[in-house]
A and B are shown apart, each in its own frame.
Chain A
Amino acid sequence: MSILLFTLVILLGAFLAGLVGSLTGLGGGVIIIPLLTLVLGVDIHYAIGASIVSVIATSSGSAAAYVKEGITNIRIGMFLEIATTISAIFGAVITVYINPNYISVIFGAILLFSAAMMLRKKVDHSDTDTSGKLAKFFKLNGSYPTPNGEQPYAVHNVAGGFLMMAVAGVASGLLGIGSGALKVLAMDNIMRIPFKVSTTTSNFMMGVTAAASAVVYLHRGQIDPGIAMPVCLGVLIGARAGSKILIKSKPEKLKVLFASVVTFLALQMIYSGLKG
């Protein structure tokens, strides 16, 4: 395949990945990597390098809007970034020492988990009981704007959330994804932060986390300009298009369709890894 055609195919695939990633909240990374490896036969290490670049672009782009709205809790984000950056670098360092087949299998497992998270019924566990000692010490309790004024919330189980974030960071560095599903799990279920705050804050953290591992990939030559260019442009434009659609309609039924697609991709990744 000529480089011109190859670039155009990736550009189209990345656009679709960004679109679906934004509509489902999964992010573009988890969809572009199977596309690159399964469909175009790209080595997973190049796919990971290109994907992490697209993660920085999309998360920084949407974080810009969220931060201005004042929903993002910058303190929670920065506090947890200590965990995610250290562990992301760790993941990025070890990723080349792991057999690519195992990486495919781990990737498939994370993808399955993300699909399950997408379909689960969300329950808001947030409350205003601001008695947690660590949350107080790190000034994590906050409030966010609603149509009826500022809504205060409390942060719980800071240590548990920090540990879960470290897991999310390793996954991010190892696989070149934003690992939003794991981050939201840490914030929604463990730290019991309201959805609006957890999704925007997780997004806010993704850029720095991804930048930390991107530096390691860059030194190693895993970020190839020929793949990274169409991937980051395509995913970013797709994600922008997706966010425009999202405002107009709530795609609940689409979610089931997307979850099936993601499950199919996950099984393919696991199969291709096991086959060797």
Chain B
Amino acid sequence: MTTATLSPADLTSARSPFLQFLGDVWVLTRRSLARIRREPETLSDVTIQPVLFVLMFAYVFGGSIGIPGGGSYHSYLIGGMLGMTLAQTAPGTAVAVVSDMETGLIDRFRSLPMSRAAVLTARTFADLLTQVIGAVVIACVGLAIGWRIHNGFGPAVEAFALALLFGYAFTWAGVCLGMTLRSAETAQQVGFIIFLPLTFISCAFVPIQGMPGWLQPIAEWNPMSSLATACRELFGNPNPAALVQAWPEQHPELAVICWSVGMLLVFAPLATHLYRTKVH
């Protein structure tokens, strides 16, 4: 029934495995971006949602939260918001992975002569791109409410780079979550249960000093605190955590790198292993 056939010139099999991997990642990243083009509302968690959060925290809670060491809450807020917004894309990653498992698309990918590492890598790249959008949105709304960069361009770039590294590590955690759960609804719920305490038991929105003594060590060692503190330090924003003597608060950049690299070393191989072996 098919008259046309494929000639060797139509095939990319001659390319090196690494080029094939990059090609597959590109095809699949484009797929995720095409979805965003068709349904831009899927970006609401890195656009509308952070804008609402910033405005509500700044104008509803902001006046009631004192910053030890002084400074404006509006300037304080942005470092924390950056961490929350980027880490909060992980449940979205999980939902996308679960959906691909549910529809059988991942089974189809597994039956194709494509690179096995490409499917998950492309997912994380697409989500990293949405995180870049989130970071830009936070910066813009921050500038609008009076947040400023005080330490110059270099440290600011470093802060955004750390935030994206941090967000990227969470993306792989999201992939693992998606590979282990059975439905998009559970992924959403489990994501919420994990990320709510992760975000709020930290100095993302309120200084650690105001928390009860037993809670403070948790907040001090929470990676979300490390990121918020690192950003505040690099942006030159009010940073009450500098007064806390715990190691992550004294070395926030290093702490963020340790947490992120640690998570990547755990979750990326785990996700790849699950992808190879998991039967849905």
> Does A associate with B in a complex?
no
- Where the two chains meet, the residues of B that have a C-beta atom closer than 8 Å to any C-beta of A are none
